[in-house]
Amino acid sequence: MDPAAQETIRSLPLWNGQPEIAVLEGGITNRNYKVVDGGRTYVVRLGDDIPVHQISRQNEVSASRAAHAAGISPAVIHHQPGVLVLDYIAGRTLGPQDIRSGAYLERIVRLVRQSHRETGRYYRGPAMIFWAFHIIEDYAATLAAAGSPHRARLEELLAMSRALEARAGPYDIVFGHNDLLAANFLDDGERLWLIDWDYAGYNTPLFDLGGLASNNELTEAQEKWLLETYFEQPLGDDLWQRYQAMKCASLLRETLWSMVSELHSTIDFDYAAYTADNLARFLRAYAFFRNAE
């Protein structure tokens, strides 16, 4: 365990004695720890603002509190610069195979729809806008300025992004989670929880739905069911095309996120492999989108 992280955690003013600290595996933006103190268990997340990823920890705190008030996420116990302490949820982290199962997928759609409808009502203070197409443009500028090994592809990828933005409207707006990886869903045996609000902000619901599908490799039939269930109406061709455009945007944003992380992240993770995987999946999705037009 990182001695500096351990010292930071032990110095927090909420412990009753000597807390027991263990590393929580996973997480490619934050460092996460399980802490037991006074018979109670907590999660401590260590991470500062990350300007290159447009991550504001104050926004994460506010979104986490709002999501807890909406009954979606664990309670915020304490925060200070670079530190967020949450109630620990004893449960199982889901994997993509869980998301793809019919029983889980139905519960997840209900949870995501609840999140979209209710979390923003409890959010207090200035709120973020998470606009994938702006983020893609910003990432491309960051990569070009840094001399990224991927810079030769940027012009082509930006042209694709602009074509997607032109097709994805008109846009409904909800308060989105914007990072629906399987690992951000927990099952405590009775209910599901949605965690990790680093990227939370107002967005189209199609970004979350497209991200949920692409991150967990839903089948085309599952995607159509997802949209009909979420919107509670039959799926028309226009919505299907708009959804496909935002699904592509989700994959492209994740690809460029990983390219930027290759340059800037200090977390031990194979970002190069993650970039290659997401780029391949984006190109397949984009080809499907263009062929279906």
Measured CA to CA, the distance from residue 84 to residue 89 in angstroms comes to 15
Question: Per-residue b/e over 247-278, b at no fewer than 16 CB within 10 Å?
Answer: bbbbbbbbbbbbbbbbeebeeebebeebbeeb
Whether the per-residue pLDDT at 125 is higher than 80: the answer is yes
Whether the predicted pLDDT of 26 surpasses 80:
no
pLDDT of residue 292: 81
CB-CB contact of 84 with 68 (8 Å): no
pLDDT recorded at residue 252: 98
What letter would DSSP give residue 12? -
CB 9: neighbour CB atoms within 10 A?
21
| pLDDT tens for each residue of 72-99 | 999 999 999 999 999 999 999 999 999 9
Delineate the domains of the chain, giving CATH numbers in brackets: 3-87 (3.30.200.20), 92-292 (3.90.1200.10)
Looking at the predicted structure, is the pLDDT value of residue 45 above 90? yes
